[in-house]
Structure 1
Amino acid sequence: MSQAVFIHAARDARIAPFNLREGAPGETLLDVAAVGLCGSDLHYYKDGGIGAATITEPFVPGHEFSGWLTEDVPELGLERGRLVAVDPNHACGHCRHCLAGHPNLCPNVEFIGAPPNNGAMTDRIWVPKSLIVPVPVAFTPAEAVMLEPLGVAIHAVDLARPRLLERVAILGCGPIGLLILQVLKAVGASEIVVCDPLPHRRALALRLGASRAGASVEDIAGWTGGEGMPLVIEATNAPEGFRDAVRAAEIGGRVVLVGIPDGDTYTLPASEARRRGLSIKFSRRMGHVYPRAIELVAQGRVDVNAVVSHRLPLSDGPSAFARLADNEAGMVKCLLYPGDPAPSGSR
């Protein structure tokens, strides 16, 4: 019988036997190669839910994953044993949001790895063939996993619409913030300053090309003489993230909010945002961005491996949740492997 990581309630993750369900028409079975522990997974662990998506019974998280096909998929020209990525967003395809090209906003979505839908922190998983994303044969399981968070970063930068050589501030140097940093560099931003309270994350941001890295938004005020930055992208898990993004922005500036705050609540003095006349956008997941994500990785313009700090066996899943929740020094992005947590792409 398969094993899986189950989240039972806030701060309660356990390894337990998992009964794989029967496949449905249009689905194919994957042997899970690797699965990422995402910030939203961490919210389910820390808070027991995100907004209305609450844990009412134990469920298996994991929406960032790659896997090996257990059968040929002729519709996609793929053979058994091929490594693939998966888009976990199973949008309905017929609501007005889907028809307008915004499947990330579909209110009828069935999202893999969000309660009540079990995810990929296990050995095998059934997925709709329509969600399969073929990847280059040279890709490793980790690179295929990281296409999903990279897609989130691409979508955030699409919303931000940075101008050539524009100065940008990023709040939060977790995996999404670090990927946003690299995408901004790829599209021609000039000075990119970052803030994060954790020293190891600031150090990694500098290694990946940040111009400056500070511990708090006050550093941005100091660097800019109190004027702020024209574009601010917030990628924190802090309730103060919205407030700090406003304080980091110049008058007439733009703010894109990507992070999910702990407790599902922002704190914001309204006058600070209003008096700056800011343009504010909220980012939710991604649109059709996988082809660009694949190209950025294949061309070496985004180094997704640099963001992965830990590769652990699936059995270490509960401890990985606890370590990330406690902001253990050195931890940035953790991938779990049902088999050998090796970086190679071979099966």
Structure 2
Amino acid sequence: MTQDQLVQPTNAAAHLSSPTMRTVRLHAAHDLRLHDEALPAQVPGEVRLKVEAVSVCGSDMHYYHEGGIGPAVIRTPMTPGHEFSATVIGGSGEAYGLPDGTLVAVDPAQHCGHCEQCQAGYPNLCPNVRFLGSPGVDGGLAQFINVPPSSLYPVPPGFSPALAALLEPLGVALHALDITKLRPMSGVTVLGAGPIGLMIAQVAKVCGAAQVRVVEPRAARRAQALHLGADSVHEHYSEVLDATGGRGDDYVLEATTSPGAPEHAALIARIGGRITLVGIPDGDHFQMSAANARRKGLIIKMSRRMGHVYPRAIELVRSGRVNIGGVATHHYGMEGAARAFQDAHEAPDGFLKAVIYPNDLLPEHAAASSSAPTPD
């Protein structure tokens, strides 16, 4: 199946009359399998969805490559996929103002709402969260799924399924800027020009950064950062010190998997500057020397998932203030899910993010289908 081939959509009603659906399960590191499984039972108070598009996240790759993230380890086969969009079906959303056919972005984090963190306004830190696509909680890489209506966000006309799925990583970028507390007309350096880094750079511009620099070793990704509005790109972190006359930058946001990147962030942050660590390091450990960070008096923030940001993320895209569609570079049907994960793991030149279509409705022209809608 080629990337640009249009595959006819599976009929939702026909599949619902069938006892099974296709789903992908990750059994262990590098062991991804396609299964036929029973349809999820309809649960009162939840909306039945036909999954349209699932984008593969960096955290998905940690599960795929390492079999876990810190204490969250795959012990039984899990269905990955927390960045996804879906269509409401079966009349299940009518009571919630979601008629059949509504395309929704899905917030994968189902917070308890009553713990200390939720009550204090930090639902992203809820210790009781059910997070779709993590060990013990199946995600969206299946043809159908049931989700509480509070997790669903209808998207405006013109949003493709891939674009709606990408609202989740945009929310991660938006949350990272929220906790960074960026002051307008300040300088920002972003370490890493993967999907999250590219989105952070754009949101930083929207937040009023005077200068956004992106550090990325891959030439193709540096070019994409420039295309999406970065003021300058650099192959090596030390070039930021040269560009700032040795002062360093006001804010450094790290969005890589490198255990050494937090140390690089500390080295290029100015005295009294702020660092926000967004990436998940390979091996679950990172390095940062104490003396430099302490003597500079750096403020260091750890960013985890997101707060209540979906409405703002949708408006950023609808209004054309950010362009996130371009990160969806590779598209796959359900049979190609294992290839999608392997490609994401190897990340060849030109690769940014894989999008999988569980019901096999690939866009006719994959690159064009992922572009942002024209602003009103």
The TM tier, using the shorter chain, reads over 0.9
Instruction: Output one character per residue of 1:166-190: Cα deviation in whole Å (capped at 9) or x when no partner.
Output: 1100001111111111111112111
* Contact 1:155-1:285 within 8 A present in 2 as well: yes
Whole-angstrom CA distance in 1 between matches of 2:202 and 2:214: 12
Counterpart-to-counterpart distance in 2, 1:314 and 1:182: 31
Asked if residue 340 in structure 1 is aligned to residue 361 in structure 2, the reply is: yes
What secondary structure sits across from 1:340 in the alignment?
coil
What is the aligned partner in structure 2 of residue 303 from structure 1? Answer: 323
CA shift for structure 1 position 20: 2.9
For residue 279 of structure 1, report the CA deviation from its aligned partner.
Answer: 0.5
Separation in 1, partners of 2:239, 2:335: 40
Code of the residue aligned with 2:146 in structure 1: it is W
Report the CA distance between 1:267 and its aligned residue: 1.4
Q: Is the 8 A contact 1:195 1:216 kept in 2?
A: yes
Partner of 1:29: 48
1:218 aligned to which of 231, 234, 238? 238
One-letter code aligned to 1:159? I
1:8 is matched with 27
Give, in angstroms, the shift of residue 332 of structure 1.
0.4
Amino acid corresponding to residue 249 of structure 2 in structure 1: M
- 1:100 and 1:74 map into 2 onto residues whose CA distance is 32
1:185 aligned residue: 205
CA contact (8 A) 1:28 1:127 kept: yes
Q: How does 1:15-164 map to 2 (within 5 A)?
A: 15-72=34-91, 73-164=93-184
- What's the CA shift for 1:269? 1.6
Structure 1: unaligned runs, 5 residues or longer = none
Distance 2:31 2:224 in 1: 30
Q: Matched residues in 2 for 1:284 and 1:128: separation?
A: 22
| Contact 1:37–1:333 (8 Å) recurs in 2 | yes
Q: Distance in 1 between matches of 2:267 and 2:279?
A: 16
Specify whether residues 166 and 37 from structure 1 end up closer, same or farther in structure 2 by C-alpha distance, changes over 3 A only: same
**More displaced stretch, 320-329 vs 96-105:** 320-329
For 1:202, what is the secondary structure of its paired residue? Answer: helix
- Give, in whole Å, the separation in 2 of the partners of 1:48 and 1:232: 30
More displaced stretch, 302-311 vs 254-263: 302-311
Q: Deviations over 1:76-95 (max 9, x none)?
A: 31211111111110000100
2:163 touches 2:370 (CA, 8 Å); kept in 1? no
Letter in 2 for 1:255: I
Unaligned runs of 5+ in 2: 1-19, 364-368, 372-376
List 4+ stretches of structure 1 deviating above 6 A: none
- Distance in 2, matches of 1:249 and 1:344, equals 35
Contact kept? 2:52, 2:361, Cα under 8 Å: no
> Are 1:71 and 1:81, in contact at CA under 8 Å, matched by a contact in 2?
no
One-letter identity of the residue aligned with 1:215 = E
Q: Identity, % of aligned pairs?
A: 48
The question of 1:199 aligning with 2:219 is answered: yes
Q: State the one-letter code of the partner of 2:303.
A: S
Q: 2: distance between equivalents of 1:96 and 1:123? A: 35
Q: Distance in 2 between matches of 1:316 and 1:287?
A: 32
SS at 1:254 equivalent: strand
Deviation (angstroms), 1:318: 1.1
Cα distance per residue 1:207-242 (max 9 Å; x no partner): 111121112212212222332111101111111121
Letter in 1 for 2:107: D
Q: 177-186 or 219-228: which moved more?
A: 219-228
| TM-score with structure 2 setting the length | 0.89
Please report how far the alpha carbon of residue 344 of structure 1 lies from its aligned counterpart in structure 2 after TM superposition.
8.3
Question: Mean Cα displacement is larger for which, 327-336 or 11-20?
Answer: 11-20
Note the C-alpha offset of 1:329: 1.1
1:171 is matched with which residue?
A: 191
The answer on whether the counterparts of 1:71 and 1:79 sit within 8 Å (CA) in structure 2 is: no
Residues 24-54 of structure 1: CA distance to partner in whole angstroms, max 9, x if unpaired? 2211111101011001101101111011110
